[in-house]
Structure 1
Amino acid sequence: MRLLTFTTGPDAPERLGAETDGLVLDLALLADRAGVQLPHDLLSFIRAGEAAQQTARELLGLAAADRPAGAVHRLEDVTLRAPLRPGKIIGVGLNYVEHVEESSRSLDTDKERPSRPVLFSKPATAVTGPGQPILHNADLTTQLDWECELAVVIGRTAFRVSEEEAYDHIFGYSIVNDISARDQRRSGQWFFSKGQDSYAPFGPAVVTAGEIPDPMDLDLSLRVNGVTKQKSNTRHMLFPIARLIADISSGVTLEPGDVIATGSPAGVGAGMVPPEFLHPGDTVEATVERIGTLTNPVIDAR
């Protein structure tokens, strides 16, 4: 399933939907018509477990004649929002081999490959949705950068799980653009550099795990104003998804709806010669195979 959060107008409430063949189906309305219970938001849906997913699959299998009025929208007629507001966003730094090299050259990080995942956090307040602006505040940064990343959405509580068990705890996958103010790193700490409001564009949908046979073989790319800056594949991760989940859960409980941003390939702005950064008026498009494209404009926030 391709699950998303959408609205049908400026003042309309957010709805939980599923996208299929260019249509968005309102799962709550379908459930009400069928006389069954289904959570009305994606975070609650994830927490409800496999029973909710099975109910949703059955609803999506209904004939068109059994769909109530207002339950079906064309994708272009709705506004997509961030799929959910995670309890935790855990970022992974230096997780692609070529990015390790470019970071050591341009960001003064260690030139040696890390022996364990490099982890940091983004607050939930950093999340913004498809089409929503990335805020450029020139009083805080002149080095606003991009990073296209595969996002792993946790579906079951994970604590001290092994690599072999890791995939049993995944609900699905999405995209995070790990926006970074490179000149706001503070004594090696990345929180303010990566955690400001709008620095975690997220979406456009969450694709359930069963729809992606091998998340370790997905093309990903990023464009700024139509020009490709990043192009790679998740198979080039230094620490694969199972290792990340095992490492993080060794000391931190991962809960349903938490998001792991699995790291950026090479091609960030700081690594360009000369460096390139985002400015108001730019448009950033992050794409991951089988998931879609997450598009955000950059605006002046002052």
Structure 2
Amino acid sequence: MRAAVIRRAVAATGVLALVGGCTAQAAGSGGKDPSPAPSATASDDAKPSGSGSPGSTPAPAASSPTPAPRTLYAPGDKGKDVRELQARLRQVAWLFDGPTGTYDAATTAAVKGFQGKRGLPRTGTTDTVTWQRLLKMTHEPTRDELYAAGGQTPAKPDPRCMTGRVLCISKTSRTLSWMVDGKTQLSTDVRFGSQFTPTREGVFQVYWKSRHHVSTIYHTAMPYAMFFSGGQAVHYSSDFAARGYSGASHGCVNVRDEGKIATLFQQVKNGDKVVIYW
């Protein structure tokens, strides 16, 4: 009887040892992992967050509203940024005049046309969406594109312009500055000769003034002519006023602002210096 009790006890101990061995093997002995029992955490994760009952649909997350386009440039604005806008509009053939640097009626109409073609609201103002579309379709304007209609700031005066009475003329900025003792009295846009009839560079003097001059070679009017080198003169050009830089002179320095050239003609004297430089 005592031996039977001992055998039953040993058998029970062996079963307990076997169960304990399976537990250790599952923990990392290389045997097959038993399927884990569902945990309370897994069961909770399966439920919709914040739901009071199984199967309820969670509320959708709130989406951020799309910000409204911001206005960058509007009618009446002025400056170099408007000039760039106009130059880019010219690249895609929505603007033909300018750039002038002033957001005028022609610019407004061009922006409206560009917007309508691309399904954007035809506001005529340049907002962030319109600007980004224009940037993708154009390249950064060159200096000649930015100042195709003139309006460039005069270049730094040549040192030879800093003394006396001088018509200081820069081919780089395409400007003429009337200077007296180093101080600028008046500035204006100018146009030069073509590659076949270039305007000479260097230091000259005004040697003859002719208010109603007509070219004996080309038979064209040269009002307010101030001759400085052979047949080359600073004078008013109606062609420059009408066509801008799409044309060129035959070597003269053209001025398109008749009011300014009239003032120059009154103030400049024979013997005054003319400096033409890059």
Q: TM-score, normalised by structure 1?
A: 0.24
Q: Which has the higher helix share?
A: 2
- The structure with the largest alpha-carbon Rg is 2
TM-score for both structures, normalised by structure 2: 0.25
Higher strand proportion:
1
